[in-house]
Amino acid sequence: MSTDPAQALLLECRRSTQTDTLVPYNAAVVTTIIRQIHTIHAHLVHSLRSAAPPGDELTPSPTPPPAVMFTSTHHHLQIRRLKRVLLVYHAHRLNMLRSMLHRAHLSVTHLLPTIRPLLSSSELTFIRTYAQIFMNYRAEFIDVLDIAAAVDEPPKGMWVNVRVVKEVGEVITEAGVVDFRKGGRYLVRRGDVEMLLVQGYLEVVD
Amino acid sequence: MVYLSPPTSSHDATRTYLTAYREILANRRTRANTPSAVVLLAALEVDSLCACRMLASLLTRDGVQHRIEPVAGYPALVALKEQLSKSQELHTLVLLNIGSMLDLASEDWFGEFGQGVRIHVIDSRRPRSLPNLFGVGESQECIVVWDDGEVAKLAEERKAFEETMFDESDSDSEDDDDEEEEEDDDDDEEDGEGTPRKKRKLNGGAAKRERREKRDEYLARLDKYYTAGTSHGQSCAGTIYVLATALERADNALLWLAILGLTHQYLSARIKRSTYEQMYEVFSDEVARLNVSVPGTINDAGTKQQLTADDTGIRPSEEMRFMLVRHWNLYDAMYHSAYVMSRLRAWNEKGRKQLGGMLAKMGFSLQQCQQAFIHMDQDLKRSLRAKMDNYAPEYGLIELTYASFTRSFGFRLQPLSAADVVEGVGALLEAAEGVKLEVELEGGRGGGEWFGGSKAWQLPTRSEGKENRPLAPPPAKEGEKSTQQAEEEQREQKEEEWWVGNFWAAYDALGMNINLLRNSLPLAMALQRAIVRQGTALISKRAITQTKSFRLATIREGPDLALFAHPSTLSRLALWLVDATRNWVQSMQVGRKKRLLPFVIACAKEEAGTFVVVGVTGAGEMGDVRPNTFNLAFLEARDRSGARTRQVTFDTSVVEVNKEDLHKFLETLAMRAA
């Protein structure tokens, strides 16, 4: 089974999980598998048709001959396996994309440039819609709780000391305009710069 | 115009630090509270660094968003000013050890900033620009000078300043006044002869003459004030500490920073010993107040003490004048301190023998002394102080100790004395990045590995521990703009980056980044080693020439050239030379009047094609400080010789002179002072 494309796909998933990186969408293998499924399905239909006695549709034979039984079961299991592999692959990718989106604070515009070439077109639609739905849901109680905020590192306080990693320029915050320049350190409200911290323009110093 | 007095009594009607601070806080509510609104500018010095850290922590606790920018010198300040002037939000600008000599309200500096911007000046440097203190007018209202009670003593200068200012405006309005004044000038020349013409004009000109004489007197007084030379008043950190006490928010962390500021001033010979002791009294009261639960004091280095894991208390202690003695070995600590150097003349073989002899007499074997201090025999450590007291005076080592403080760091680090931290942080400021220094590895001596290794010091990076560190960006392709100007720009850019990095490294080390602080100590040792190496080389090679008014040393080559291109390292070398050669020089000049000449030292800055020139005044006694008059001397020498110089730092006694003009410049300097 080493040449089995499905196996390759599973291996890819596994590596991707272990290294926590998104690999490009493997459209070629996915198409191959789908084609495989179609072929096997054709075989299955063919073998079943050939086994059925012609013209006797009203009273089908209770059990087909063992040879037909064996082939069709085999084909059926093959199809099921391939289907599961495809499901696993896509579920893995969607999970990955979702977690990436959450890490990027639900900012599709920030996330996309880096991962754009890795996505298939339907995945693209998915994260766009997902972000949109999530934003709509979040907006209902954003004043009380920000469910998009990360919880692995709870904030220590309202204020945070940041240094500028990449020149940002002027940023409009709730209180006014901040001009982030390289070389200086700024004490700012955490909420104001959360986005910039996530995007890597600023860095927290203790 | 505005100057603040320290808040001595709370019912004082005058404006104090408190009013200024509350004003900043009030702005937070009424106006925009963004980091662009409150900007702290700090010079690259340990003192201003401490002050910056303190002020930032006060502001943080009050929830005032702020921004901190290190400023290395005038070019950087001008660039920053340009940037800030565009900001709409800015309402408070705090200058820490920057610009007390500048006429800040003028159009060249912050005059264009408008009414809304308050500029607070906290600077220990004296003299200060009088317009900042006493000037009137709308733009002057924005300048707030935090004074340490000195202004009260400047009553005469104030009067002189006010008189002359109004006088000038008078003479501008009256045209014929000038003519008469010219005539008066003639009179003055003939004054001694007492011509009849004078008598004739006496009645008419008497009042005017009187006024003009008065004016001359005032001008003379102002002149005297400005030309008295640079000295230092209350440290920046001390000023902020006074504010903290007035706010009733003083704690150990702030106190420690204030102590560091003071110690830095003392160690870099900015304040006299008497001033230091006076301030020490104040701080030791504070230490006693804030560290009540800490029993016992450290009487000398290495005495056993009870430490607990969370002990971060400050204790008063007697510090020996040996460099980093707790962290080095005894021999090196003694050899590398200017104090021992000057008494024993340890730069030659004879002096070194004397040092060895003294240790032998005390019963300290050389092997023990080369051992890292913590690994020295306990009984030797314990008896060190008493032995030193017994034997040191024989070698002229009197006043071996000075009063200071030690701070514990729990179990994370040995207790550090204020001087240790100042040396460490100072070394970070000067050499954390930008220059390469080899530091000795621990355990390289006294039975350690055969080849006591050394490695290049490196700033522990933020991404330490991460495996995939981003590679350094490849050098930019130099296709189109390989012109010299582009190169120059690139160099400046690079230089700027490393001093900014140094500032933040030092800033972090002060903020209880224990690792960094610990790593800074070997760096300080390496730096001191380089200074002593260069200093002894200069002395033993007789590279110090003497003119009538100062002694001069020029460094044109050597392994540490890049190191000494840093002005403050060069100043330290100069101070070391003054200290080290003090007794020697005095004994040399037996016949002549015993006078210690100032020291001028120049170091080539190769990549820039310039020389950094530093002048320090030597005081006759250790611990004494004389005002530094090189500021004006340098200016005058520049004007007369036409040398191309520029002032890069806020230190007034440092200039950068173009390579070709150096000779001319120094010659003029010698002539001028003679």
Higher-pLDDT residue of A139 and B345 is: A139
pLDDT of residue B670: 81
Residue B29 CB neighbour total at 10 angstroms: 7
Does B504 sit within 8 Å of A185, measured CB to CB?
Answer: yes
Answer whether residue B448 shows pLDDT above 50. Answer: no
Q: Which of B33, B35, B462 sits opposite A186 (nearest CB)?
A: B35
**For A188, which of B32, B35, B462 is closest by C-beta distance?**
B35
pLDDT tens, position by position, B14-71: 778 888 888 888 887 776 678 888 899 998 889 999 999 999 999 988 888 889 999 8
- Residues of A near B (Cβ–Cβ under 8 Å) read 158-159, 161, 163, 173, 175-179, 181, 183-189, 203, 205-206
Kindly identify which residue of chain B lies nearest to residue A188, measuring between CA atoms. B65
Cα distance between residue A100 and residue A109, in whole Å: 13
Between strands A202-205 and B125-126, the pairing is unpaired
* pLDDT value of position B260: 93
CA B320 vs. chain centroid, Å, equals 22
Question: Collapsing DSSP states into helix, strand and coil, what is residue B229?
Answer: coil
Which domains does chain B possess? 1-165+215-294 (3.90.1640), 542-673 (3.10.310)
* Contact by Cβ (8 Å): B233, B150: yes
What is the nearest CA distance from B87 to chain A, expressed in angstroms?
8
Residues of B in contact with A175 (CB under 8 A): 32-34, 65
Helix axes B252-267, B46-61, angle to 10 degrees: 160
Are A183 and B34 inside 8 Å of each other by CB?
A: no
Q: How many other β-carbons are positioned within 10 Å of the β-carbon of residue B580?
A: 26
Instruction: Please tell me which residue, A168 or B480, carries the higher pLDDT value.
Output: A168
Q: How many helices (H) and strands (E) does chain A have?
A: 6, 5
Contact B33 A175 (CB under 8 A): yes
H or E, element range at A205: strand A202-205
Across the interface, of A177, A183, A186, the residue whose CB is closest to B88 is A177
CA B261 to chain A, closest CA, distance in angstroms equals 21
- Between chains, do B67 and A206 touch, taking CB under 8 Å as contact? no
Average pLDDT over residues B319-332: 85
Q: Does B501 lie at the interface with A, CB-CB under 8 angstroms?
A: no
Indicate whether B502 pLDDT > 70.
Answer: yes
**Interatomic CA distance for residues B364 and B377, integer angstroms:** 10
Pick the residue with more confidence: B303 or B77? Answer: B77
Work out the angle between the directed axes of helices B252-267 and B418-431 (0-180°, nearest 10).
70
pLDDT tens sequence across B399-421? 788 899 998 888 888 888 999 99
Q: Which residues of A touch B33 (CB under 8 A)?
A: 175-176
Across the range B282-289, mean pLDDT stands at 89
DSSP characters over B27-55:
HHHHS--STTTEEEEEESSHHHHHHHHHH
Maximum distance among all alpha carbons in chain A?
88
Q: Choosing among B44, B67, B71, B88, which should be mutated to test the A contact, i.e. which has the most A CBs within 10 A?
A: B67
Whether B56 has its CB under 8 Å from any CB of chain A: the answer is yes
Query: Contact, B84 vs B57, CB < 8 A?
Result: no
Q: How confident is the model at residue B465 (pLDDT cuts 50, 70, 90)?
A: very low
Which of B37-51, B126-140, B351-365, B499-513 ranks highest by mean pLDDT? B37-51
Q: What is the pLDDT of residue A38?
A: 95
- What would the two tokens of residue B99 be? 């610009």
Nearest-by-Cβ selection for A177 from B36, B60, B511: B36
Pairing verdict, β B143-146 and B654-658: unpaired
CA nearest neighbour of B345 among B182, B536, B477: B536
Question: Does pLDDT of B262 surpass 90?
Answer: yes
Interface contact B509, partner A, CB < 8 A: no
CB contact under 8 A, A205 and B508: yes
Whether the per-residue pLDDT at B660 is higher than 60: the answer is yes
Q: Find chain B residues with C-beta within 8 A of A206's C-beta.
A: 511
Q: Using CA atoms, how far apart are residues A5 and A87, in angstroms rounded to an integer?
A: 14
- Alpha-helical runs (H) found in B392-483: 418-431
The owner of tokens 């340990």 is B46
Question: Residue B6 gets which letter from DSSP?
Answer: -
- Give the DSSP letter of residue B364: -
The better pLDDT of the pair B484, B236 is held by B236
**A177: closest CA of chain B, how far (Å):** 7
CB contact under 8 A, B67 and A187: yes
Residue B10: both structure tokens together: 């709370």
In the DSSP assignment, the letter for residue B127 is S
Is the CB of residue B514 less than 8 Å away from at least one CB of chain A? no
| Residues in B touching A205 (Cβ below 8 Å) | 508
**In angstroms, what separates the C-alpha of B69 from chain A's closest C-alpha?**
5
Inter-chain CB proximity A187 and B65 less than 8 Å: yes
Rounded Cα gap, residues B661 and B645, in angstroms = 8
Contacts of B462 in chain A (CB under 8 A): 203
pLDDT band at B663 (very low <50, low <70, confident <90, very high): confident
Contact across the interface for B60 and A181, Cβ inside 8 Å: no
Which CB contacts under 8 angstroms, 24+ apart, belong to B527-530? B527/B427, B527/B430, B527/B431, B527/B437, B527/B563, B527/B569, B528/B323, B528/B324, B528/B336, B528/B423, B529/B336, B530/B437, B530/B560, B530/B563
CB contact under 8 A, B35 and A187: yes
Q: In angstroms, what is the C-alpha Rg of chain B? A: 27
State which of B27-31, B190-194, B363-367 shows the largest mean pLDDT. Answer: B363-367
Angstroms from A91 CA to nearest CA on chain B? 29
Instruction: Decide: helix, strand or coil at residue B461.
Output: coil
Domain residue ranges in chain A: 5-101, 159-204
DSSP category for residue B298: B
**More reliable by pLDDT, B188 or A149:** A149
Token pair of B62 as six digits: 């009050």
Q: Are B14 and B146 in contact (CB under 8 A)?
A: no
Q: Which residue does chain A place closest to B28, by CA atoms?
A: A175
Enumerate residues 6+ apart whose C-beta is below 8 A from B190: B197, B198
- Chain A nearest-CA distance from B283, in A, is 28
Chain A residues with CB under 8 Å of B63 CB are: 158-159
Identity of residue B231: S
Q: Could you say which residues of chain A have pLDDT below 50? A: 1-2
Q: A176 and B500: CB-CB below 8 Å?
A: no
Query: With bands split at pLDDT 50, 70 and 90, how would you rate the model's confidence at B299?
Result: very low
- Res. B13 pLDDT band, cuts 50 70 90: low
Per the prediction, chain B carries an average pLDDT of 77
Quick check: B70 and A188 CB within 8 A?
Answer: no
Angular region, B438: left φ>0, alpha ψ -120 to 50, beta rest: beta
Do the Cβ atoms of A185 and B83 come within 8 Å? no
In the three-class reduction of DSSP (H, G, I as helix; E, B as strand; rest coil), residue A159 is classed as strand
Q: Do A158 and B500 touch (CB under 8 A)?
A: no
Position B584 pLDDT exceeds 70: no
Residue B81 neighbours by CB under 8 Å, 6+ apart: B109, B110
The vertex-B424 CA angle with B423 and B430, nearest 5°, equals 85
Predicted pLDDT of residue B58: 92
- B478 falls in which pLDDT band (50, 70, 90)? very low
Q: Which residues of A touch B42 (CB under 8 A)?
A: none
Q: How far is CA B413 from the centre of its chain?
A: 27
On whether the CB atoms of residues B612 and B633 are closer than 8 A, the answer is no
Q: For residue B202, what pLDDT is reported?
A: 54
Judging contacts by C-beta atoms under 8 Å, the chain B residues touching residue A177 are 32, 34, 36, 87-89
Residue of A nearest to B88 (CA): A177
Smallest CA–CA distance from A173 into chain B, residue = B34
Q: Any chain A CB within 8 A of the CB of B62?
A: no
The answer to whether residue B88 neighbours chain A at the CB level (below 8 Å) is yes
φ, ψ for residue B658 (rounded to 5)?
A: -60, 145
> What pLDDT band is residue B471 in, cutting at 50, 70 and 90?
very low
- Most B CBs within 10 A among A173, A179, A202, A205, hence the mutation to make, goes to A179
Q: What is the token pair recorded at B447? A: 């039975």
B264 close to B47: Cβ distance less than 8 angstroms: yes
- Is B45 within 8 Å of B503 (Cβ atoms)? no
Q: Quick check: B65 and B37 in contact, CB under 8 A?
A: yes
pLDDT digits (tens, 9 = 90+) for B629-638: 787 788 888 8
- What average pLDDT score do residues B94-104 get? 83
Q: Is the pLDDT of residue B673 over 70?
A: no
What average pLDDT does range B512-535 have in this prediction? 87
Alpha carbon of A183: minimum distance to chain B alpha carbons (Å): 6
Structure tokens at B406: 């030690």
Q: Is B428 helix (H, G, I), strand (E, B) or coil?
A: helix
Which residues are within 8 A (CB) of A89 and not within 5 positions of it... i.e. 6 or more apart? Answer: A9, A10, A12, A13, A26, A30
- B531-580 pLDDT, tens digit per residue, is 888 888 888 888 888 877 788 888 888 878 888 888 888 888 888 888 87
- Tokens for A11? 């291996």
Within an 8 Å CB–CB cutoff, is residue B59 touching chain A? yes
Q: Which sign, positive or negative, has the C-alpha torsion B264, B270, B273, B277?
A: negative
* % of chain B surpassing 90 pLDDT: 8
Long-range contacts of A152-159 (CB under 8 A, 24+ apart): A155/A190, A157/A190, A158/A189, A158/A190, A158/A191, A158/B63, A159/A187, A159/A188, A159/A189, A159/A190, A159/B60, A159/B63, A159/B65
| Candidate from A176, A187, A205 with C-beta closest to B89 | A176
Which residue on chain A is closest to B31 by alpha carbon?
A175
B610-649 as b/e: b if 16+ CB within 10 A: bbbbbbbbbbeebbebbbbbbbbbbeebbeebebebebbb
How crowded is the C-beta side of B318, counted as CA atoms within 13 Å? 10
Backbone angles phi, psi at B508, to 5 degrees: -70, -40
Question: Which of A161, A176, A206 is nearest residue B34 as measured by Cβ atoms?
Answer: A176
Q: What is the pLDDT of residues B132-187, one digit of tens each?
A: 888 777 777 788 888 887 777 888 888 888 888 766 544 444 444 444 444 444 44
Cβ distance of B36 and A181 shorter than 8 Å: no
Say whether B34 and A187 touch across the interface (CB within 8 A): no
- Cα angle B535, B538, B541 (rounded to 5 degrees) comes to 140
Q: Do A175 and B65 make contact, defined as CB atoms within 8 angstroms? A: yes
CA distance A159 to chain B (A): 7
Terminal Cα distance for chain A, rounded: 54
Residue B66 to residue A186, Cβ atoms within 8 A:
yes
